[in-house]
Copies of this chain bind each other. A is one copy, B any other.
């Protein structure tokens, strides 16, 4: 079961070693990488697709948005709530896709919360390194992505720690700045191809938020408490033991 090492382009024990194919493959030797990439490109585009993206929990996002969504950022990283979850249809079931998200500054302002209102408080701090977060199940077939109840990015946490050790899983944001999450579909069979392929980007304006280290708007706090199961301990439920100060 041992293979001959160090002889590029020839593999006498391979399952497809017919002379004709070997000849053809030799012809392509110099352009091999490009040809393979091209063949894959074509293969991936033999059949069309027409992706539709839907935001999960859209009504909840809108309720937050009406009050001015805030997201807490911490040194160790904090999840978003509501979560970043999409539902995708219209993919080609056989083709492979990578799902990607990022969180971009919405403008170049710094904000402050004053008299129960968010207002501009100057120029934005220097932009932090921009990161893309590749969904850990990438790549997967269109069928697999469409069959799941949602595509969730809950493992990507928000932090303000520039020296964050989980650099590849967290989004680094500036506090008191406004952000817009984005969702990208990239049709390719391997994550290494992501940055050389077409990106199809979807943006939900109701996901806009301001990053904070502590909640400013009490209405937002209450919405979080009332809807996030992990904050159930702070709910005001008749039998409750917690009261407002």
Contact = CB atoms under 8 A, between A and B. Distances in A.
Interface of A: 1, 3-6, 8-11, 13-17, 21, 24-25, 27-28, 31-32, 34-43, 45-48, 50, 189-190, 196, 198, 200
Contacts of A25: 35, 38-39, 42
Given A14-B45, A47-B5, A36 B38 contact: no
Nearest to A10: B42
Contacts of A17: 38
Nearest to A187: B3
Given A5-B46, A10-B42, 9 more contacts: A5-B47, A6-B48, A8-B47, A13-B198, A16-B37, A17-B38, A24-B35, A25-B42, A32-B43
Nearest to A22: B38
Nearest to A198: B1
Give the oligomeric copy count.
2
Given A1-B198, A43-B32, A198-B1, A21 B38 contact: yes
A28 B36 contact: no
16 contacts: A1-B200, A6-B47, A8-B42, A8-B47, A9-B42, A11-B41, A13-B198, A15-B41, A16-B34, A21-B34, A21-B35, A21-B38, A25-B35, A25-B38, A25-B39, A36-B39
Contact of A38 (B16, B47, B196): B16
A189 B1 CA distance: 19
